[in-house]
Amino acid sequence: MLIKKIKSMKKLIYILMFSPIIFLTSCSSGDGDGGGVSDCQFTGNWSGTYTGDESGTIYGTISASCAVSGDVIPAGSSLSYQANGSVTSGGNFSATVGEVSTGTVFEGQLNVNTGNGTWNNSAEGTTGTWQVSKQ
């Protein structure tokens, strides 16, 4: 009888020890990458143009975390300049090509499928506007 109680107690201890592990590994907090659900309504590929003192084409991608990465290609050039930035949940957009102090800053507003704003390079004294559409 005592041996039977000890075996039952061991089973109970194992169940109690491993239950939290099973529970924690089967639950999801929803902020991972498992469900394909995006936290950013602007996620996807975008393209457009910029005009003003200089002009060209813009291509970019917005990630599920609203991080922006893209390329700015001046008209008539085969060179591509990398842009990085972010967009808020409200659509406030900001991306920089190069360093903020010497590069070009693109700022503006995104809506669900379009966006526009201004750009400037204070080091070169150039400015203009931009517009993009979600692809």
Residue 115 sits in a domain of what CATH number? Answer: 2.40.128.120
Count of domains observed in the chain: 1
> Within a domain: residue 71?
yes
For 75, which DSSP code? T
Q: Give the residue among 135, 81, 87 at the shortest CA–CA distance from 107.
A: 87
Is residue 53 domain-resident?
Answer: yes
Q: Is 0.85 surpassed by the pTM of this model?
A: no
Tens of pLDDT, residues 20-57: 444 333 333 444 444 455 689 999 999 999 999 999 99
Instruction: State the sign of the Cα–Cα–Cα–Cα dihedral 88, 102, 49, 131.
Output: positive
- The DSSP secondary-structure symbol of 124 reads T
Average pLDDT over residues 55-75: 97
- pLDDT-based confidence at 4, cuts 50/70/90? low
**How confident is the model over 9-16, as a mean pLDDT?**
52
- Answer whether residue 121 is part of any domain: yes
**Residues of the domain holding 48:** 44-134
pLDDT: which is higher, 15 or 97: 97
